Amino acid sequence: MVPCVVFFLLGAAGILVFEKGEMVMALNRISNEPLDVFFLIVSTISHGSFLALVALLLAFYKFRWSVLALGNLAWAAILTNLFKKVFFQLASRPLHYFYYDDFSRFLYDAPLTYYNSFPSGHTMAAFAFCTILAVLINRKSAGLILFLAVLLAGVSRVYLLQHFFVDIWGGALLGFLVTFLTVWLDKKYDLEKRKFAGMNLFVLFQKKSP
């Protein structure tokens, strides 16, 4: 919780103080082929479809964890589409905002996308998944590791010229906020006390086997 709040406060200050594309250009200046590969992998892992698969696999541990993780990702998907396709449909991405000649180095392996910049869907999905997981694990060390992982996911989107810092900041904030809704619904319907909450697929398969 604390690292997230610090990130949002410092990020808001940074958005007000620095020019929109400064982080994009700073990362582009230090870009190289090994970092390209690394951040492409990180970006792929933070995609909503991959995280949804991981959330489904949580059912092998606890059904409740899987349900909450999938629910949080569903809220993130709804907000991503709402913001990108309704409110900020024409928001320019770095590849449209800048000229090709502005970049110190061009990343040919990254997708060529030009609009629907705000917010970062990858970052929102990653924050939604990691924050609900941090709540469920309820350990400071795990929470810090998950925060650093999701921060890396956000940086990957800027590095790959897909988003500005404000996009990943906004995505992170929305992903963080939907967790409160999911936690509220979890408590409202007492999912932790339901019969299925502590069960998992292993237990279910054992009960069905002769």
Structure confidence by residue, pLDDT tens digits, 62-99? 888 999 999 999 999 999 999 988 888 889 999 999 98
Determine contact, residues 1/9, Cβ cutoff 8 Å.
no
Residue of higher predicted confidence among 185 and 155: 155
Residue 28 region, left (φ>0) first, then alpha (ψ -120 to 50), else beta? alpha
With beta carbons less than 8 A apart as the criterion, state whether 126 and 153 touch: yes
CA 200 to the chain's CA centroid: 26
d(CA 60, CA 65): 10
Gap between the Cα atoms of 156 and 179, Å rounded: 22
Encode 65-85: b = buried (16+ Cβ within 10 Å), e = exposed. bbbbbbbbbbbbbebbeebbe
Residue 19 burial class via C-beta count within 10 angstroms: exposed 0-12, middle 13-18, buried 19 and up: exposed
Q: Cβ(54)–Cβ(70) under 8 Å?
A: no
Strands (E), 28-103: none
What span, in angstroms and rounded, lies between the C-alpha atoms of 210 and 201? Answer: 16
pLDDT tens readout for residues 175-194: 999 999 999 988 887 777 77
Report how far residue 75's alpha carbon sits from residue 127's, in angstroms, rounded to the nearest whole number.
12
CB 197 within 8 A of CB 65: no
Whether the CB-CB separation of 113 and 162 falls below 8 Å is answered with yes
Q: What is the mean pLDDT of residues 112-120?
A: 90
Residue ranges and CATH numbers for the domains of the chain are 2-208 (1.20.144)
- More confident of the two residues 109 and 18: 18
Please say whether the beta carbons of 121 and 48 come within 8 A: yes
Whether residue 196 has pLDDT greater than 80? no
Higher pLDDT, 26 or 190: 26
Can you tell me which residue has the tokens 């620095």? Answer: 18
* Residue 89 DSSP class: T
pTM over 0.85: yes
